[in-house]
Amino acid sequence: MQVLKTPESAFDKIPDFPYVPRYVAVTDTISSEITMAYYQCGPADGHTILLMHGEPTWAYLYRKMMPILAKAGFNVVVPDLIGFGRSDKPMRKEDYTYARHVIWLKEWFTQVVKGPTTLFCQDWGGLLGLRLVADMPERFTGVMVSNTGLPTGDHPASDAFIKWRRFSQDTPVFPTSAIIQNATVSDLHHTTLAAYDAPFPDESYKAGARMFPLLVPTSPDNPEAQANRLAWEKLKQFNKPFITAFGDSDPITKGGEKIFQKLVQGCDGMAHTTVKSGGHFIQEDQGEKLAELLIQFIQQTHQSTN
């Protein structure tokens, strides 16, 4: 497997993400090892909050939330998924599968994250992070989901998603920052747009970004459809605090919060929120609000901060 590594110089001009990357080697399922980057802030002995990004973003998406959570005393851990940010980027689209992403993430999590953990996830951060919760429920004390899901292909995908998937494959240039701008309510500064483009010096680095839309189970016979059905059976039994905070302006995941609220035990009695002026990349539009909601969620459900 041929792997690209984004030069560190590509990140030199990002003014608002001061976090020093850390690296872990995870075992690849076919060849040898592949390197995954992550960032940590806040007291290491605080209660751990795991922030999971989706596609085509990277940990930078959480720059508004990280300092607020750290100041509140939490150990904040944010990985770059394989193919994104500072993590290794396999060159062939065929190198990316849903199952491999789960394996990579699980090994990273096992090596890096210790103690009770609260998960916050959005977009593919949910498709992967919720598989962790299903497989290792004892490791998680609570979950907040936003603009995400765990599709099984048993129900038709939204028109918005079908259009997005077609665009991701047909466009000759995958316009990373423009995709993010088009899925936010707020106007992003040019330095922010540049930060989202930074991990991808040219099109050869974008195999993972292009592949993710194809990996979403949209038919019952998708290779990971059954794995997600099994994960749902486990999530239904997850009786620890589980809360939704979806944006009001995301056509791709609109209504997805109701599925969690109906099926997951831990959603019962929670103060679920619809976040106003929140697009698909809700962390850009309402990052500070999400951080506050997450802190309240942990405090009100008496999750340990030690």
pLDDT tens, residue by residue, 260-299: 999 999 999 999 999 999 999 999 999 999 999 999 999 9
Residue 30 has pLDDT above 70, yes or no: no
Q: Report the range out of 68-82, 144-158, 210-224 with the highest average pLDDT.
A: 68-82
Q: What pLDDT, on the 0 to 100 scale, is given for residue 1?
A: 82
Q: What pLDDT, on the 0 to 100 scale, is given for residue 306?
A: 42
Is 160 or 136 the better-scoring residue by pLDDT?
Answer: 136
Q: Cα separation of 139 and 263, whole Å?
A: 20
Catalytic residue (choose from 28, 95, 123, 285): 123
Residue 9 has pLDDT above 60, yes or no: yes
Which positions ≥6 away from 172 have C-beta within 8 Å? none
Q: Cα separation of 174 and 168, whole Å?
A: 7
pTM, full prediction: 0.96
Q: Cα separation of 28 and 32, whole Å?
A: 5
Q: What pLDDT, on the 0 to 100 scale, is given for residue 302?
A: 75
Give me 224's structure tokens. 């990971």
Residue 180 has pLDDT above 90, yes or no: yes
Clarify whether 123 is annotated catalytic.
Answer: yes
Residue 92 has pLDDT above 80, yes or no: yes
Residue 88 has pLDDT above 50, yes or no: yes
Distances (CA, A) of 96 to 1, 99, 109: 11, 9, 19
Residue 31 has pLDDT above 90, yes or no: no
Residue 305 has pLDDT above 70, yes or no: no
* pLDDT band per the 50, 70, 90 thresholds, residue 103: very high
Average per-residue pLDDT in the chain? 95
Q: Cα separation of 249 and 183, whole Å?
A: 9
Q: What pLDDT, on the 0 to 100 scale, is given for residue 223?
A: 86
Catalytic residue (choose from 88, 95, 250, 285): 250
> Which three-class secondary structure state does DSSP give residue 291?
helix
Clarify whether 280 is annotated catalytic.
Answer: yes
Catalytic residue (choose from 53, 280, 285, 302): 280
Clarify whether 88 is annotated catalytic.
Answer: no
What percent of the chain lies above the pLDDT cut of 70?
A: 97
- Region 148-175 average pLDDT: 93
* pLDDT band per the 50, 70, 90 thresholds, residue 27: confident
